[in-house]
Amino acid sequence: GDSVTQMEGPVTLSEEAFLTINCTYTATGYPSLFWYVQYPGEGLQLLLKATKADDKGSNKGFEATYRKETTSFHLEKGSVQVSDSAVYFCALLNTGNQFYFGTGTSLTVIP
């Protein structure tokens, strides 16, 4: 079945460090890929998305590129801030209009 596997956390970084959170997926056909973020005490919010191979999603300094050849959608940010501390979820929307989420990666950024 379809699934998403993402890097286990928790991840702790110093402010201005480079962030990578790995995400790989298994799906038939051509899913859309998403990163959602959940800040403490809040609901899930869409961070970025990509709908076809080689698309790059970007928002708030975060980027992820849809790589069909490696079935990956890794999240990156060049310089993290304390305000980026949250849980990040990788997700796919398959051709049957069902979403599958990864288990989430907790990020803590320390000043």
Partner 1 sequence: DTGVSQDPRHKITKRGQNVTFRCDPISEHNRLYWYRQTLGQGPEFLTYFQNEAQLEKSRLLSDRFSAERPKGSFSTLEIQRTEQGDSAMYLCASSFTAGKDEQYFGPGTRLTVT
Partnered with residue 50 across adjacent β-strands are: 33
Task: Name the residue nearer to partner 1 (CB basis): 46 or 79.
Answer: 46
| Cα pseudo-dihedral 108, 62, 55, 73, rounded to 10 | -10
Q: Is 74 in the site for partner 1 (CB under 8 A)?
A: no
Residue of 43, 69, 70, 111 interacting with partner 1 (CB under 8 A)? 43
Q: Is 27 in the site for partner 1 (CB under 8 A)?
A: no
Q: Is 49 in the site for partner 1 (CB under 8 A)?
A: yes
Q: Is 22 in the site for partner 1 (CB under 8 A)?
A: no
Q: Is 98 in the site for partner 1 (CB under 8 A)?
A: yes
Q: Which residue has the tokens 């899930």?
A: 44
Residue of 84, 102, 107, 109 interacting with partner 1 (CB under 8 A)? 102
Name the phi and psi angles at 95, rounded to 5: -70, -15
On whether the CB atoms of residues 23 and 90 are closer than 8 A, the answer is yes
Binding mask 1-20 for partner 1 (x = CB under 8 A): ---x----------------
Task: Give Rg (Cα) of the chain.
Answer: 13
Residue 77 and residue 75: Cα distance in Å, rounded? 7
Residue 60 and residue 39: Cα distance in Å, rounded? 14
Which residues bind to partner 1, rule: CB under 8 A? Answer: 4, 32, 34, 36, 42-46, 49, 51, 89, 91, 93, 96-104
